[in-house]
Amino acid sequence: MDIKRTRIADLLKRTDYGQEVLVKGWVRTKRGSKSVSFIALNDGSTIKNVQIVADLEKFSDELLKQITTGACLSVKGTMVESIGSGQSVEVQATDIEVLGLCGDDYPMQKKGQSFEYMRQHAHMRLRTNTFGAVMRIRHNMAMAIHTYFHEHGFYYFHTPLITASDCEGAGNMFQVTTKNLYDLKKDDQGKIIYDDDFFGQQTSLTVSGQLEGELGATALGAIYTFGPTFRAENSNTPRHLAEFWMIEPEIAFLDQEELMDLEEDFINYCVRWALDHCQDDLEFLNNMIDKTLLERLQSVLKESFVRLTYTEGINILQEAIKNGKKFEFPCNWGDDLASEHERFLVEEHFKKPVIMTDYPTAIKSFYMKQNEATADGGSIGYHGVKAPASTMQGTDVLFPQIGEIIGGSVREADYDRLMGEINRRQMDMTHLWWYLDTRRWGSCPHAGFGLGFERLILFVTGMQNIRDVIPFPRTPRSAEF
C-alpha cells in the first residue's frame, strides 16, 4: 500500500517511532562522514528541518551527487528518535528519489546574503528560512484578521478594485484602460475622450475601499474589507509600496471613544495571535533579525495605549526640541507629523503605543467629522483639549519601529457639513454622487479605520523593509516576477 506524504511540521510532533514515513521537500544542507550522509530537508510547513540519514552503502554515488542545496527530494524511511541535539525525530532513509535537480548557479545557496540581493531573486527567496518564516506569519495574521472580525459580528465586504473615484483626493492612481495609447481620441481642449473605452469613462485602480465600505456599514451595520490597494506614488522608502493590502472596517453607530477601543483591541488580538500561533518562526526571527522582537510584541499587550491629542503631541515635541532634541522635519501646530515625530512619542517619550486624535482639519481628508468649534475660531476635541484652529475626529495609532500603523476617524454624517468641506476644498464630486446619497437618505453616525497589512507584518516580524514582508513587491521601476 502506498504511503501518504507527511508534512514535516506534523512529523516533528510524532512519537510513534519505528513507523515507515514519506516526506518530500527541498535540501537545505548536506554533510556527511565516510559511512553516512546527513540531509536537512524542509517542505515549508515549519522553520525546522527534518534530518534524513542516508547510509552510503544503500545509495549510489551518482544519486548522492545529485543531492545538492536546493534540490527537491522524495524520501521514504523509518521514523526514529534522534540522538542529536535540537531535534526529536529523524528519518533513516530506505528510498530517495530526486524530484528536481538544482545546479551550482542556484542563487540561494550561500548563507548571509543581503536582503537587497534576495530582492533581485524574489522568486527564489521564499525558500529561505527568513522568508519562509515571514510568509507563514503573514498567513497567520490574515487568519487572525478574518477570525477577529467574524467573531465580533462584522461582515467581509468586497469593494471594487477598478474605480472612477479617488477616495483620498491625492490623484496618485494607476489608470485602467483598453484604449490604444498611441492613438488617443481627444477633444478641442486636448483632454482624452473615454467614450470608446471599456467603461466609457476614466477609471483607475483603487487607493482605498473606504467609501464603498461606508455604504456597506450603513446597510449591514459593521463590515470590513481586506484586499489589495494601489498608490502611484514615486516613493522609494522602506515604508512604501505601490501595491499593498489594506484592512478597512466601517461601523455604524460608533463614536470616537468606541473607535479607539476597537483599534486597540484589534491590534492586541493580532499580536496575541502571532505569539500563540507563530512561536517557532518568531523565535527564529528574534534570534536572526531583531533580538528585541519578542520583548516588543509582549510589551504591547502589557499596558493600555496612550490616548493623546495632536495638540498635546505637538507640545511634547516642541518641549523636546527646547531640550536639545533634533528633528529633520518641522513640527509646528498644523504640520503633518513625520515618522520621526511619531516614533519619538512612541519609543522615547511614552515607550508604548499611542493613539493620536483631533488632527487639524486642513491636513486630513474631507470625509472626517469636525470637532465642536469655539467662539475664537478654535475647536474643542477629545477630552476637552482646546486647539487653536479647526480639528477633526481622527484616531491614528502609532507604533514602535513603524510610526503610523492605523489611520481612522469618525466620518461626517451630516450632508450640509460634508458639502461645506467639499466646497471649501473645491473638490470635484462628479463621480462620488452615490457617496453623497448616504448622507441624504437615512444618514447615521459611523466610523472606521484603515490598517496597512504590510505595516502590521513589519511590526510582528521585526523586518526593516516593507519590500521584505510581501512575496513580490511592487515599487517604482520594479514590477518583476
How does pLDDT run across 178-222, given as a tens digit for each residue? Answer: 999 888 899 999 899 999 999 999 999 999 999 999 999 999 999
Q: Position 374: which residue type?
A: T
pLDDT at 449: 98
Hey, CA dihedral for 285, 289, 294, 296, is it positive or negative?
A: negative
Q: Give the bridge partners for 80, in sequence order.
A: 90
Distance CA 269, CA 133 (A): 20
Give the DSSP letter string of 279-311: HHHHHHHHHHT-TTHHHHHHHHTTSPPEEEEHH
Alpha carbon 163 to its chain centroid, in Å, reads: 22
- The tens digit of pLDDT for each residue in 55-69 reads 999 999 999 999 999
Strands (E), 33-138: 36-42, 50-55, 72-81, 89-100
Please say whether the beta carbons of 448 and 208 come within 8 A: no
Grid cell digits, residue 464: 526593516
Residue 422, pLDDT > 80, answer yes
Identical fold between 8-100 and 129-172+207-468:
no
pLDDT at 411: 97
Cell numbers 482605498 correspond to what residue?
208
Grid cell digits, residue 124: 527564489
Grid cell digits, residue 83: 540522538
Angle at 459 between CA 291 and CA 446, to 5 degrees: 155
Q: What sections of 323-384 are H helices per DSSP? A: 339-343
pLDDT category at 169 given cuts 50, 70, 90 is: low
Please say whether the beta carbons of 293 and 285 come within 8 A: yes
Q: Which residues of 153-170 are buried (b: 16+ CB within 10 A; e: fewer)?
A: ebeebebeeebbbbbeee
pLDDT category at 33 given cuts 50, 70, 90 is: confident
- The tens digit of pLDDT for each residue in 53-102 reads 999 999 999 999 999 999 999 999 999 999 877 778 999 999 999 999 99
Residue 40, pLDDT > 80, answer yes
Q: What percent of the chain has pLDDT over 90?
A: 84
Hey, CA dihedral for 79, 83, 87, 92, is it positive or negative?
A: negative
**Is the domain defined by 8-100 classed in CATH 2.40.50.140?**
yes
Phi first, then psi: what are they for 383, rounded to 5°?
Answer: 60, 25
pLDDT at 49: 96
Pairing of strands 155-156, 72-81: unpaired
Q: At what angle do helices 129-151 and 453-461 cross, to 10 degrees?
A: 120
Q: Give the bridge partners for 89, in sequence order.
A: 81
pLDDT at 86: 74
Grid cell digits, residue 69: 542545496
Give the DSSP letter string of 204-264: EE-S-SHHHHHHHHHHHSEEEEEEEEE------STT--SEEEEEEEEEET--HHHHHHHHH
CB atoms within 10 A of CB 248: 26
Distance CA 134, CA 118 (A): 14
Residue range 236-240: average pLDDT? 85
> How many Å is the Cα radius of gyration of the chain?
27
Which residue from 112, 108, 138, 110 is spatially nearest to 125, judged by alpha carbons? 108
Please say whether the beta carbons of 139 and 281 come within 8 A: no
CATH hierarchy code of domain 129-172+207-468: 3.30.930.10
Which residue from 400, 468, 449 is spatially nearest to 226, judged by alpha carbons? 449
pLDDT category at 381 given cuts 50, 70, 90 is: confident
Of the listed ranges 90-104, 181-195, 350-364, 452-466, the least confidently predicted one is: 181-195
| 8-state DSSP, 345 | I
Angle at 334 between CA 171 and CA 169, to 5 degrees: 15
- The tens digit of pLDDT for each residue in 301-340 reads 999 999 999 999 999 999 999 999 999 999 999 999 999 9
pLDDT category at 466 given cuts 50, 70, 90 is: very high
pLDDT at 1: 60
**Top-confidence residue, 432 or 462:** 462
Residue 171, pLDDT > 90, answer no
Average pLDDT, the chain: 93
Pairing of strands 50-55, 36-42: antiparallel
Residue range 420-426: average pLDDT? 92
Parse the chain into domains and list their residue ranges. 8-100, 129-172+207-468
Please say whether the beta carbons of 252 and 438 come within 8 A: no
In terms of residues, how long is the chain? 481
Grid cell digits, residue 282: 518568531
